[in-house]
């Protein structure tokens, strides 16, 4: 009897039904009226009473094993029918979420795309720079207070090496390498030793631009930037230029765009002025052209520079700049694009 029980246990353990019919046949064969397990239970009646306890226990185990086997294999077939199974390897793979472009990349790509339509090409350069390309060639005299406008991260062992504070350094490198006419836009990460807040970060992104040719005027700059503003913020956008100061441009200006959110009436985003500041610009100082090997008697040019975080905050009304750096998918998933 013991042997019969063990053989049956093995049979049940090894059984795998390939179809529901096979499972049903198996059930009948084992626990049906004339099934193997039913027969053993019949035999059990004749077992000597001192052995009843031992065999009773074994038989109960087999009975439970059989019930479990029927139940689990039936569940498998049921789930296949309802399409819920993960065990069916022929089902299509689970499609994970696709991810989206970071809003900073979206804004940067859009800015670059607008300027490339005007014939500008894109140039990049190193993030670790030297004093010449970030300051000296751009008409920042040594110890000039203008250097304080941009709190700089210097490499301690060598103050000539620093993290670029603006991508104007790429414009210097372009002028050193290339003869006019030059039309270039320079995207990249920049670094300033600033406290992190809702409006500022020590790492951010810029796109700067440079246009050099014969007879380039302030009016050319204004028209280019107006076109840019309308492409970026909508066709009814107006711009205004306010006098400003940069060591590398003369005259210099800050450009504001009319506030899209309140339509110029005044709201808390534009601080009730109706205008939003978006970029710095100006006519390239002749000293800069000469320092970079371009004859300032023959050529003139304009330059501009903007913060990508700031522009995308205005475009999508993001209230806190730190969101761009936290990689919270609930924020990032809201930006979808086809590019
Ligand atoms: N380099 C300036 C900045 O980082 C921006 C700028 C570029 C201003 C070109 C004028 C002309 O703030």
> Span 152-179, mean pLDDT?
92
pLDDT at 83: 58
Length of the chain: 339
Nearest 5°: phi and psi at 80? -65, -40
Confidence of residue 55 (pLDDT cuts 50, 70, 90): confident
Residue 246, ligand 1, Cβ within 6 A:
yes
Mean pLDDT, range 167-186, rounded to an integer: 97
Q: Is the CB of 304 under 6 A from ligand 1?
A: yes
pLDDT at 214 over 90: yes
Give, as one character, the DSSP assignment of residue 271: T
Residue 111: pLDDT above 90? yes
**What is the CA(42)–ligand 1 centre distance, in A?**
97
Helix (H) or strand (E) run with residue 288 in it? helix 286-291
Atom in ligand 1 nearest the alpha carbon of residue 280: 8
Ligand 1 centre distance from Cα of residue 67 (Å): 78
Q: Return the pLDDT at 47.
A: 86
- State residue 150's pLDDT score: 64
Closest CA to 207 of 301, 313, 303, 337: 303
Considering only 66-70, 113-117, 332-336, which range has the smallest mean pLDDT?
332-336
Asked if residue 208 has its Cβ within 6 Å of ligand 1, the reply is yes
The dihedral region occupied by 72, where left means phi > 0, alpha psi between -120 and 50, and beta the remainder, is: alpha
| Nearest protein Cα to ligand 1, atom 9 | 304
Percent of the chain with pLDDT over 70: 95
The CATH superfamily of 103-338 is: Bira Bifunctional Protein; Domain 2 (3.30.930.10)
- Cis ω for the linkage preceding 181 (within 30 of 0): yes
Tell me what the pLDDT averaged over the chain comes to. 90
CB atoms within 10 A of CB 272: 11
> Among residues 275, 228, 195, 201, which one has the least CA distance to residue 107?
228
Residue 229 has pLDDT above 80, yes or no: yes
Atom from ligand 1 closest to the CA of residue 190: 4
Does the Cβ of 282 fall within 6 Å of ligand 1?
Answer: yes
In ligand 1, the atom with minimum distance to the C-alpha of 138 is 1
Q: How many Å apart are CA 73 and CA 239, to the nearest integer?
A: 72
Give strand ranges (E) for the chain.
Answer: 121-122, 128-130, 154-155, 158-163, 182-191, 203-213, 239-246, 249-258, 275-284, 300-307
Q: For 123-155, write each residue's pLDDT tens digit.
A: 999 999 999 999 999 999 887 766 666 688 888
For the Cβ of 281 lying below 6 angstroms from any atom of ligand 1, the answer is yes
**Cβ–ligand 1 contact at 305 (below 6 Å):** yes
Q: Check if 301 has its Cβ closer than 6 Å to any atom of ligand 1.
A: no
Q: What is the pLDDT of residue 72?
A: 87
């Amino acid at each position: 009897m013991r042997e019969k029980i063990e053989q049956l246990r093995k049979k049940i353990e090894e059984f795998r039904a390939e179809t529901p019919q096979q499972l049903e046949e198996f059930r009948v064969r084992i626990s049906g009226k004339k099934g193997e397990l039913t027969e053993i239970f019949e035999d059990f009646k004749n077992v000597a009473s001192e052995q009843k306890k031992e065999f009773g226990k074994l038989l109960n185990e087999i009975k439970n094993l059989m019930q479990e086997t029927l139940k689990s294999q039936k569940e498998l077939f049921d789930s296949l029918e309802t399409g819920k199974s993960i065990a069916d390897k022929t089902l299509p793979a689970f499609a994970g979420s696709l991810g989206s472009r970071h809003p900073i990349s979206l804004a940067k790509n859009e800015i670059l795309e607008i300027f490339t339509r005007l014939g500008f090409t894109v140039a990049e350069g190193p993030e670790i720079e030297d004093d010449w390309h970030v300051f000296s060639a751009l008409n920042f005299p040594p110890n000039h207070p203008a250097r304080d406008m941009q709190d700089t991260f210097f490499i301690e062992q060598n103050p000539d090496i620093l993290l670029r504070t603006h991508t104007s350094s790429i414009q210097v490198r372009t002028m050193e390498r290339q003869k006019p006419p030059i039309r270039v836009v320079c995207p990249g990460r920049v670094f300033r030793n600033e406290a992190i807040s809702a409006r500022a970060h020590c790492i951010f992104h810029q796109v700067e631009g440079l246009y050099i040719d014969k007879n380039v005027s302030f009016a050319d700059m204004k028209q280019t930037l107006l076109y840019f503003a309308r492409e970026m913020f909508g066709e009814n956008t107006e711009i205004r230029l306010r006098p400003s100061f940069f060591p590398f441009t003369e005259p210099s200006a800050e450009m504001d765009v009319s506030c899209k959110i309140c339509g110029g009436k005044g709201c808390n985003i534009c601080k009730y002025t109706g205008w939003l500041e978006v970029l710095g610009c100006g006519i390239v100082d002749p000293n800069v052209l000469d320092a970079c090997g371009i004859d300032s008697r023959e050529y003139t040019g304009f330059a501009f520079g903007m913060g990508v975080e700031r522009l995308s905050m205005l475009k999508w009304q993001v209230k806190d700049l730190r969101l761009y750096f936290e990689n919270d998918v609930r924020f990032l998933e809201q930006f979808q694009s086809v590019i």
